[in-house]
Chain A
Amino acid sequence: MLRFEGLEVTVGAHRVTADFACKAPGLCAVIGPSGAGKSTLLLATAGFLAPEAGRILIDGADVTGHAPGDRPLSVLFQEGNLFPHLDAFRNVALGLSTAGRVSAEERSKVADVLRRVGLAGKEHRAPAALSGGEQSRVALARVLVQDRPVVLLDEPFAALGPALRSEMLELVSATLAAAGKLVLLVTHDPDDALRFADQTVFIDGGRAAGPTATRALFANPPPALAAYLRN
């Protein structure tokens, strides 16, 4: 369960407020016009922006003041999710441990996850030697081994093209959501929400409203969402 209580975040002249909760498991989409504050909300949740007011709770625990790495969540950004100097295996293993030696147990766990995302045999490739889709899979594999209750996805597959993106989102559903995680997915494409998210948060004018069951929301959109969907 991810809960925002009277959260207020300001970046420059933009201000985002949120006061709602998303329940695990499942995929919760965050949609809204660009500049509405989707990424701001996500960055505050991940701990990269400090809110002026309000609290963020994960499974009942207040994480508002915690450093990004200390929150029980994983996050994937639009870009820069992999260290280019480390191979796929090491990039994933960093989700388990930052120690130099990887135990046999961890090793098999990483290998297993890489197999599950379809990268068997490519463990020792550097990111530059992988395709864009494969790079996304490495990043997803790391989220899987991190095994945190909440996963934040800030349009990480936006650069991939529709077919690949669907494939990746299906993989997210099949792995993360199936494992009982709460996935918060920021997307600019309402179709993504319709196809993959059971709940959707709509942000407009800096105010995050929701979440609402996706189908019900799209079937009977409030005026602002209706205007956004028409575009």
Chain B
Amino acid sequence: MARRAQPIAAWGAAAFVAALTLLPLAVVAWRAGGAFALGAGDLAAIRFTLLQAVLSALVSVGLAIPLARALARRRFPGRRLLITLLGAPFIVPVIVAVLGLLAIYGRSGLLSLGAGALGFGWPGIYGITGVVLAHVFFNLPLATRLILHGWLEIPAERFRLAASLGLDPRDIFRELEWPMLRAVVPGAAMLIFLICTTSFAVALTLGGGPRATTVELAIYQAFLFEFDLGRAAVLATIQFAITGAAAALALALARQAVLGAGLDRPVTRWDAARPALRVQDSTVIVLGALFLILPLGAIVLRGLPNLIGLPESVYLAAARSCFVAVLSAALTILAALALAHGARRARGFEAVGYLGIAASPLVIGTGLFLLLFPLADPARLALPVTIAVNAALSLPFALRALAPALAEVEARHGRLADALALTGWARWRWMILPRLRRPIGFAAGIAAAFSLGDLGVIALFADAENATLPLQIYRLMAAYRMEDAAGAALLLLALALAAFWLCDRGGRADAAV
């Protein structure tokens, strides 16, 4: 009986995601009544969107592989702190991160000063370079974490065996690491591609001009400046189609990683003791850390003097954001576990989980507004809707971490659980949940941090008294209060890191790594 009940949970989670993604799109399209026309500008926007998303995904994953590998086979003081910090760019609001990046790469940034001192000019980073750079800054940490997970999931016994067989690093790569990468990298690349297709503010701030118009901007324009719901719906559908095709492709490419059972022992890598590899890994780690941490450092330096004495509303907004983050992380994990479990019967469940990333936030907001307005005051629903939408938007990240892990737990231990008649809740309690602690902690951390950093529901649901912290930052900026905004941004960064660290640490409390 219990076994039959679980697909119901998966169906429930799938319905939840669809209600927050497909349904709003359908409602907007229905309200629009069908008339629309795509212009040449829309086609250019589609082209640019695809180009920057592909480049961003490739560069992020390409850089993440050596970084994850170096982190997987090196132990050094501060490694855990570094891994936590690596999560930070992903969760800061776009404009805050962009200002951090510009403090390093901008026209009056650190590199510009350095170049000036050496007598060179510095052109800045506007244009597709800047867009890709910013997207890599945001997504390299995510890719690194996902791939690092893959590395840590390779059982220690395999490396011991490899060491005893005297395999050199190249053999180990071919026999142990390549199969893992084959399984993990397409999924990670897909995720980043999807994130970048709906990117909007990055392209519009660093793009340098209308050449860098993305589909999301076209939707924004169609909706807010022309009130052309039909065109907005068509563009959103195109965005769905692009991301849907990418998701299907990557799911087809991503082999389920099943690398055999191993007992929980810390990984020691005998093959990595060679001095040349030591130097290589250290260089990669230092460069990666500098790339990610310098802009964060700039945010910290900028915000620190303003952290004390922020307007009271900022602290209230921070409290509200924490509340939203906790609930939406819990919701994310429940939905992700249900879908990951359902995906073991029908992979379609996993695909449904990715809808959240394909959806245009603006269209979600509009559709939900059209749905809910007749029923209740949207301002009163602001927080519940924020919680639900944030959960749907962070679901893909949670699912990416949990679905392969769950498949692997079933592959390793499912037979024993079957033999012991562990079904229903007992199976979750004694096998799945304890084995998934680490990815659950990671996913909850991502979801909480993401929810903290997200702008949340768009303008339509916004409500003066219930602003979340990121919204409050934008409001400070809109009122010339850049100094307070910098302080609030630092507060947000600290909260997001703390949330991530707490969840992640909870997940690895009994793990040796």
Contacts and interface: CB of A to CB of B under 8 A. Distances in A.
B263 to A, nearest CB: 4
A80 B435 contact: no
B421 interface: yes
Interface string B389-402: 00000000000000
Interface string A80-93: 11111110001000
Interface in A89-133: 90, 94-95, 98-100, 126-128
B483 to A, nearest CB: 50
B31 interface: no
B263 A127 contact: yes
A95 B420 contact: yes
B429 A85 contact: no
Nearest to A85: B434
Nearest to B510: A85
Interface stretch (B9-17, B186-194, B409-417): B409-417
A68 B422 contact: no
Contacts of A94: 420, 422, 430
Nearest to B265: A128
Interface in A54-100: 67-70, 74-75, 77, 79-86, 90, 94-95, 98-100
Nearest to B427: A98
Nearest to B511: A85
Contacts of A77: 415-416
B418 A86 contact: no
Contact of B421 (A68, A81, A83, A90): A68
B421 A69 contact: yes
B263 A84 contact: yes
B421 A98 contact: yes
Nearest to A75: B419
Nearest to A73: B419
Nearest to A76: B419
* Candidate in A70, A80, A99, A127 with the most chain B CB atoms within 10 angstroms: A80
Contacts of B176: none
Contacts, number: 61
A46 interface: yes
A100 to B, nearest CB: 7
B51 interface: no
A72 B333 CA distance: 37
B423 interface: yes
A94 B430 CA distance: 9
B426 A80 contact: no
B399 to A, nearest CB: 23
Contacts of B265: 128
Contacts of A79: 261
A48 interface: yes
B264 interface: yes
A80 B423 CA distance: 18
A128 B263 contact: yes
Contacts of A86: 430, 434
B421 A80 contact: no
A67 B431 CA distance: 18
Contacts of B423: 69
Interface residues of B, number: 21
A48 B420 CA distance: 12
A128 B510 CA distance: 13
B69 to A, nearest CB: 25
A209 to B, nearest CB: 27
A80 B430 contact: no
A68 B416 CA distance: 10
Contact of A46 (B419, B434, B510): B419
Interface in B100-153: none
B415 A83 contact: no
A77 B261 CA distance: 13
B426 A83 contact: no
A82 B430 CA distance: 11
Contacts of A100: 429
A80 B418 contact: no
Contacts of B420: 69, 94-95, 98
A95 B421 CA distance: 9
Given A67-B418, A69-B420, A83 B430 contact: yes
Contacts of A90: 430
A80 B264 contact: no
Interface-centre pick from B419, B420, B423, B431 (highest chain A CB count, 10 A): B419
Contacts of A46: 419
A86 B510 CA distance: 12
A48 to B, nearest CB: 6
Given A69-B423, A84-B263, A98 B430 contact: yes
Interface in B236-277: 261, 263-265
A83 B419 contact: no
B419 A80 contact: no
B434 A80 contact: no
A209 B179 CA distance: 41
A158 to B, nearest CB: 15
Contacts of A69: 418-423
Contacts of B412: 80
A103 B413 CA distance: 26
A90 B426 CA distance: 13
Contact of A80 (B413, B422, B429, B510): B413
B431 A80 contact: no
A83 B261 contact: no
B78 to A, nearest CB: 27
A98 B264 contact: no
Contacts of A95: 420
Given A90-B430, A98-B421, 10 more contacts: A46-B419, A48-B418, A67-B421, A69-B418, A69-B420, A69-B422, A83-B435, A86-B434, A98-B430, A99-B426
Interface of A: 46-48, 67-70, 74-75, 77, 79-86, 90, 94-95, 98-100, 126-128
Top-8 shortest CB links A-B: A69-B421, A98-B426, A68-B418, A85-B434, A128-B263, A84-B263, A80-B261, A75-B419
8 contacts: A67-B421, A68-B418, A69-B418, A81-B416, A86-B434, A90-B430, A128-B264, A128-B265
